[in-house]
């Protein structure tokens, strides 16, 4: 899969996939988008001292990095499970500039996050454990993981990967989530909202990041 690195409007990198004409993050700002959707609208709403996070679409690792930084700030313990079918290569993730732009000295942690083995639990900080899972979300068995408190749904857009946004997957996630679990995604399409509702979630449209009017936040 050919991936081209580009700089978004806030100075942070993302990848562009010419084959499907899709970006990993918003071109208006990768860090800006991830912070708004997954940290401010997601992680900040979880009051538990220990949180199990599922990310669908581990990708560049940006959402995980921002979660690590937040866990260090708040001392909230995070168990993070990231599912990705097509992991980045060392050459690709070594070029990403997220560590330089966050204001934290986290480059070694970011590189270690990518360098370490897939499908094994690793402890990156005193508060953050990560298990990267190389798998296809379509046939993944969620019951192999602890129940989720927070879901970061960051797959490619429905017009690029329609089956990843199917009600069947949302139902599996719903049934393996704790009561009160929060599901956040950049996508605000009506069909996705309806699929989440049919899966059992209570869904709200809330303001999106710069460049996007709305996003979805769902609660079990």
Count of domains observed in the chain: 1
For the chain, percent of residues with pLDDT exceeding 70? 100
> What is the per-residue pLDDT across 92-146, written as a single tens digit (0 to 9) for each?
999 999 999 987 778 899 999 999 999 999 999 999 999 999 999 999 999 999 9
**Host domain of residue 104:** 35-219
In the Cβ-directed half-sphere of 136, how many Cα atoms lie within 13 Å?
Answer: 4
Q: What is the pLDDT of residues 56-88, one digit of tens each?
A: 999 999 999 999 999 999 999 999 999 999 999
pLDDT, residue 105, reads 78
As a whole number, mean pLDDT of residues 158-164 equals: 94
Q: Quick check: is 125 in a domain?
A: yes
Core vs surface per residue 127-159: b (16+ CB within 10 A) or e: bbbbbbbeeebeebebeebeebbbbbbbbbbbe
- Could you tell me the CATH number of the domain that includes residue 150? 3.40.50.150
**pTM strictly above 0.85:** yes
Could you tell me if residue 25 is inside a domain? no
Q: Is residue 124 in some structural domain?
A: yes
Is residue 2 domain-resident? no
Residue 104 lies in a domain: yes
Do strands 128-134 and 22-23 pair parallel, antiparallel, or not at all (unpaired)? unpaired
The answer to whether position 30 is within a domain reads no
């Amino acid at each position: 899969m050919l991936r081209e690195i580009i700089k978004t409007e806030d100075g942070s990198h993302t990848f562009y996939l010419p084959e499907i004409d899709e970006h990993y993050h918003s071109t208006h700002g990768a860090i800006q988008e991830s912070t708004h959707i997954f940290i401010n609208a997601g992680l900040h709403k979880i009051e538990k001292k220990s949180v199990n996070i599922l990310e669908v679409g581990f990708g560049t690792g940006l959402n995980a990095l921002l979660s690590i930084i937040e866990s260090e700030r708040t001392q909230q313990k995070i168990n993070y499970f990231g599912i990705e079918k097509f992991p980045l290569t060392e050459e690709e993730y070594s070029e990403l500039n997220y560590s330089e732009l966050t204001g934290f000295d986290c480059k070694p942690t970011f590189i270690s996050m990518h360098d370490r083995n897939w499908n094994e639990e690793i402890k990156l900080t005193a508060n953050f454990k990560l298990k990267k899972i190389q798998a296809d979300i379509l046939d993944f068995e969620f019951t192999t993981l602890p129940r989720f408190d927070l879901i970061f749904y960051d797959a490619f857009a429905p017009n690029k990967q329609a089956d990843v946004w199917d009600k069947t997957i949302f139902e599996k996630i719903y049934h393996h989530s704790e009561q009160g679990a929060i599901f956040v995604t950049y996508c605000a399409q009506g069909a996705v909202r309806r699929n989440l509702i049919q899966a059992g979630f209570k869904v709200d449209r809330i303001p999106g990041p710069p460049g996007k009017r709305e996003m979805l936040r769902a609660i079990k």
